[in-house]
């Protein structure tokens, strides 16, 4: 069976869904692997690296030979036209609010796997693309903030005087937020953080940061069974906003990462709160792609307010550290795919009763099969 790893068509996508390591392993499982020429260029992987690992270097039209396609982004309609009916396609499909694109995948007859639906259970930890990419995004957010901030982050005591440590506040302490906290701490900042999930409190403290939140009854019940945040009531949001507003005015850097699965990002920092910050302060909004946590954040731009506050709204933040992000993403895909290969006969077959398959399969046999989207499609 043949696997195809294309060069991503979206010009802003720097990542690639394979690495020399995963190509070698895929070949070891018995697959013929074709990697499109230049697929790894923006991730610092050359065609020779892929070829040495056992891949054939091919062209976009080789997609038509593939039984399995590994991608970063959802296939475009043009890409879909080039696939075999019945091909299994693995990618971050970003299906919420994109019903037409989901319908196109069904119509193309592909079996589409939406990697972001990987359940957060122990067996699937190594396949969790949201975690692997959010981890790097959290790191990169601090690097971006430090680059935009005109001062040093650590306290520096020098013969010529003392530079005070920067104060960093991280809003949303999930995977990205926790990595942002750890990174800012490593750079010597004084770090505080908030989240609406009670479980976050201990994790924040264990990283040496101070936890700040309204801890009422609603807060104590705010976590879903899957470990995700619930959307909070208007009342809670108002109380929390009042508490954080006062705190933010004293911060040098604010990094926001707050998301609710399938919902627009909660608005956490109003324009008035941004205006209360000192000139030269920096906000990095990692939620900008889902509507943003910060009022005034512009997707894909760094803006400077009248008051001299920088708001950073970079898109595809994991793609800003593509060489690392691709390695982890490729490994996530490989680990999932490996569960579908019979090691003895070296054959690839999808077990539709497997819970990981059920959770991630979006389209199959010409229909939208994922329960969250099948209704909209019907
Ligand atoms: P996410 O990306 O969905 O959201 C980021 C963070 O924002 C979350 O911590 C969320 O609680 C927080 N948030 C939402 N609304 C907020 C608001 N109004 N104010 C402040 N913060 C708000 O989250 P994630 O990184 O995917 O992590 C979600 C949970 O899943 C965490 O508990 C994480 O530890 C857990 N997790 C488990 C596994 C596993 O078991 N395999 C893997 C990864 C993550």
Residue located nearest, by CA, to atom 42 of ligand 1 = 120
d(CA 264, CA 285): 14
Nearest Cα to 37, choosing from 79, 82, 71, 6?
A: 6
pLDDT of the residue at 226: 73
- Residue 376's pLDDT is 67
Of all protein residues, whose CA lies closest to atom 31 belonging to ligand 1?
A: 174
Please report the ipTM that was assigned to this predicted complex. Answer: 0.95
**Alpha carbon nearest to ligand 1 atom 27, residue:** 174
Q: What is the DSSP letter of 269?
A: B
Query: What is the best residue among 117, 175, 197 to mutate for testing ligand 1's pocket, by most ligand atoms within 8 Å of CB?
Result: 175
Over the range 322-336, which residues count as b (16 or more CB within 10 Å of their CB) and which as e? bebbbbbbbbbbbbb
Mutate which of 139, 227, 231, 292 to test ligand 1's pocket (most atoms within 8 Å of Cβ)? 227
Q: What are phi and psi of 218, to 5 degrees?
A: -60, -40
CB 23 within 8 A of CB 326: no
Task: Pick the atom of ligand 1 nearest to 258's CA.
Answer: 7
- 3-state DSSP assignment of residue 88: strand
CA-proximal residue: ligand 1, atom 4 (nearest): 259
Please give the torsion angle defined by the CA atoms of residues 29, 32, 37 and 40, in that order, rounded to the nearest 10 degrees. -10
Give the binding-site residues of ligand 1, using a 6 Å CB cut-off. 120, 125, 128, 130-131, 134, 171-177, 194-197, 199-200, 227-229, 232, 257-261, 266, 268
* Backbone φ and ψ of 355, nearest 5°: -65, -30
By the 8 A CB rule, do 191 and 138 touch? no
Round to whole Å and give the CA distance between 291 and 116. Answer: 18
Closest atom of ligand 1 relative to the 223 alpha carbon: 11
**By CB neighbour count within 10 A (0-12 exposed, 13-18 middle, 19+ buried), where does 242 fall?**
exposed
Under 8 Å between Cβ of 266 and 232: yes
Which residue from 176, 203, 215, 259 has its CB within 8 A of the most atoms of ligand 1, so it is best to mutate?
259
Q: Which residue has the tokens 């009763």?
A: 353
Q: How far is the CA of 202 from the centre of ligand 1 (A)?
A: 14
Confidence at residue 229, expressed as pLDDT on a 0 to 100 scale: 84
Q: How far is the CA of 255 from the centre of ligand 1 (A)?
A: 15
Distance 311 CA to ligand 1 centre (A): 23
Mutate which of 225, 258, 263, 289 for ligand 1 pocket (most atoms within 8 A of beta carbon): 258
Residue whose CA is closest, atom 18 of ligand 1? Answer: 266
Q: Strand pairing of 210-211 and 282-285?
A: unpaired
pLDDT at position 378, please?
A: 65
Residue partners of 234: CB distance under 8 A and separation at least 6? none
**CA atoms of 361 and 23, how far apart (whole Å):** 23
> How remote is the CA of residue 13 from the centroid of ligand 1, in Å?
24
Distance 203 CA to ligand 1 centre (A): 12
- Beta-ladder partners of 299: none
CA atoms within 13 A on the CB side of 264: 6
Residue 137, phi then psi, degrees to nearest 5: -65, -40
Catalytic residues: 120, 125, 128, 131, 228
User: What residue's CA is closest to ligand 1, atom 10?
Assistant: 229
Show the low-confidence residues of the chain (pLDDT under 50).
Answer: none
227 Cα–ligand 1 center, Å = 7
pTM surpassing 0.90?
yes
Closest C-alpha to ligand 1, atom 13: 258
CA of 15 to the centre of ligand 1 (A): 23
Spatial strand order of the sheet with 68-73 comes to: 56-58, 32-36, 2-5, 68-73, 88-92, 111-114, 361-364, 367-368
Please give the torsion angle defined by the CA atoms of residues 135, 71, 79 and 23, in that order, rounded to the nearest 10 degrees: 150
* pLDDT (tens digit per residue) in 243-279: 999 999 999 999 999 998 878 999 999 999 999 999 9
Burial of 191 (0-12, 13-18, 19+ CB in 10 A): buried
């Amino acid at each position: 069976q043949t696997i195809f790893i294309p060069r991503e068509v979206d010009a802003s996508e720097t990542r690639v869904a394979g690495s020399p390591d995963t190509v070698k392993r895929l070949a070891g499982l018995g697959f013929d692997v074709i990697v499109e020429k230049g697929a790894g260029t923006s991730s610092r992987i050359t065609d020779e690296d892929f070829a040495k690992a056992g891949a054939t270097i091919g062209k976009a039209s080789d997609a038509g030979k593939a039984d399995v396609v590994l991608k970063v982004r959802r296939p475009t309609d043009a890409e879909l036209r080039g696939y075999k009916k019945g091909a299994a396609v693995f990618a971050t499909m970003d299906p919420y609010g994109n019903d037409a694109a989901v319908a196109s995948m069904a119509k193309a007859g592909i079996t589409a796997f939406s990697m972001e639906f990987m359940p957060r259970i122990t067996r699937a930890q190594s396949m969790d693309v949201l975690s692997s990419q959010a981890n790097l995004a959290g790191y990169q957010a601090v690097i971006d903030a430090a680059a935009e901030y005109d001062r040093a982050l650590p306290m520096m005591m020098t013969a010529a005087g003392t530079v005070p440590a920067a104060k960093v506040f991280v809003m949303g302490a999930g995977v990205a937020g926790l990595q942002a906290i750890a990174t800012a701490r490593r750079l010597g900042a004084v770090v505080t953080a908030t989240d609406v999930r009670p479980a976050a409190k201990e994790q924040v403290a264990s990283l040496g940061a101070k936890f700040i939140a309204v801890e009422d009854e609603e807060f104590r019940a705010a976590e879903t069974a899957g470990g995700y945040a619930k959307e909070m009531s208007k009342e809670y949001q108002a109380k929390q906003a009042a508490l954080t507003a006062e705190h933010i005015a004293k911060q040098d850097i604010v990094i926001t990462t707050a998301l609710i699965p399938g919902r627009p990002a909660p608005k956490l920092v109003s324009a008035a709160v941004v205006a209360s910050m000192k000139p030269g302060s920096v906000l990095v909004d990692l939620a900008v792609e889902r509507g943003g946590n910060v009022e005034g954040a512009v997707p894909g731009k760094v803006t400077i307010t009248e008051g001299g506050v920088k708001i950073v709204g970079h898109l595809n933040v994991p793609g800003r550290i593509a060489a690392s992000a691709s390695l982890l993403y490729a490994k996530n895909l490989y680990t999932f795919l490996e569960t579908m290969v019979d090691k003895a006969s070296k054959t690839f077959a999808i077990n539709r009763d497997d819970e990981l398959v059920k959770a991630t399969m979006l389209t199959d046999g010409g229909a939208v099969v994922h329960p969250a989207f099948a209704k909209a499609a019907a």
